[in-house]
Structure 1
Amino acid sequence: MPQSASSSVRQARQLLADRLRELAKDAGLEGKDLAALCGWHPSKVSRISTAKTQPSEDDIRAWCAACGAEDQAADLIASLRAVEGMWVSWRRMERAGLRRAQEARLPLYERTRWFRAYSPGLFPGLLQTFGYTEDVLRAVQRRRVSVDDVADAVAARMERQRVLYDGHRRFAFLVEESTLRNGLGDAETQAEQLDHLTDIAVLANVSVGVVPTRLGRTRMPVEGFWIFDRTQVNVELVSGYLTITQPSEVTAYADTFATLADMAVYGDKARALLVKARDSLV
């Protein structure tokens, strides 16, 4: 797994390393002894036990066997898979196509009751029209995915949008004003998307804010992110998909969202920006 800047990922890796080190300690094994039993160079044991190198599933099985703790292997492998799931490269996530990547997020959306999303460049997926989604996913497919299942992926994203119409859920969306003129697709697609955003904004459980482009702003645009309830943040980066669960980091993103929300305009002022962007398409 690539080294992520997220302390959530680093902490999870360290916890796994700590558990492996404790097994060796309980078995009375020094690093060189463990290495000999596993048939490894001692430096490998050192790197794994200090979280500098992430073990493979076979490494964990060998470690547990050497420590006489085979019964711990399944649990530790589950922990390893959880760590790997916190940072997933696009190549790995989309190796079978885009549809599965879209469907994989549905359980998270179904269990979430409070959604907050900020986007500096594209309209968030839950707000996208069919045509806009098709253009977005087609651009992704051309750039990095060999499998062409865009039609199925669009259908999966459209299916996920049903959560918007569940009155028991709350949604707060923030987009930068530049998003209204991002030039994706043709004028008809962009106009339809802007009209759709206006319609969605009147739902009682949905808030749509636009952060105006102007001088003197107190917070510059940041990477796009989603906050699910108060427990998880997802960030789409150039190289992959990051899941953040550490409370301090989730709070940092929540604070950033609140700051950007204070800078945004809503209601009639937001609609005026949408109409201005739509009129510019003519």
Structure 2
Amino acid sequence: MDEERRSAKQGIGLLIACYSAWGLLPLYWKFLANIPSDQILAHRIFWSFLFVTVLIFAQGRWPEIKAVFRSKKNILALFLCSLFISSNWYIYIWAVNHGHIVETSLGYYINPLLSVALGIIVLRERLTFWQIVSFSLAAIGVTVLTVEYGKFPWIGLSLATTFAVYGLAKKLVKVDSLTGLTMETFMAMPFALAYILYVEINGTGLVGNISWLEFFVLLCSGVVTALPLLWFARGAKAVAMSTVGFFQYLSPTIQLFLGIFVYHETFSYVHAISFSFIWLGLLLYTLSFTGLLGSKRKTVAAKAQKTL
């Protein structure tokens, strides 16, 4: 029992580290705000690929990579993962460096609900009553923003959609986080490298145009990308899924606070009303997921206890 408790505590610590790192990412990309978003993305993909490849070889896991290539279904699923996670990264970096951190937090608050919606549409999963209420409240929140400002909150919904579809594609292939990230960056890396070479040849690249410190921070983007994923993979194995679901809201909350209190982005009464609907929806969804609402309380609680 003591060993299980130590493992659970370590898992919670890793999850806090993971979601805190993701929440603090705006600080990282803001430091590189003078660099065009497309070049940040290309370098992030390239250096992430190099870093995870080193880890794969260091851990002797190359056979796992070769095994992925034996299935056309795996290759297609990982290509979709690569496409959608690259799109998500670009939208996020662009939004952060153009003063839309509050909107990025909106996207990651909505993401869990949208992921469930895709599960219903694509995987024919069923919703409980309280989950339907959760979706309705989130939809009201998004509608409030849309009507009040007269424009669609495309940043938040684009981030939520690309990450939700990415998660759905991940369900089609059974690989761990490190192997998956290696394959995803491997598929995007040729395009990223070609773009880096193209802008350098044209004289619009980064060589000679940024400081050594900026280049070092950009180079470390591979580490910043991979480490939280590894923390998440280890942490998620040690605790119940309901615990993982609870901590996932730490990241957008940190982003929201950064946007309001550090970068002084607008958070009006309309934002407050909209976010309140979304927060309430997430609360009901989380309670439903953990079994505290609805008829599945004992079943879910028993599963969670068994996982621990």
Structure with greater proportional helix content: 2
Structure with greater proportional strand content: 1
Scaled by the length of structure 1, the TM-score of the pair is: 0.23
**Greater RCO (CA < 8 Å, at least 6 residues apart):** 2
Greater radius of gyration (CA)? 1
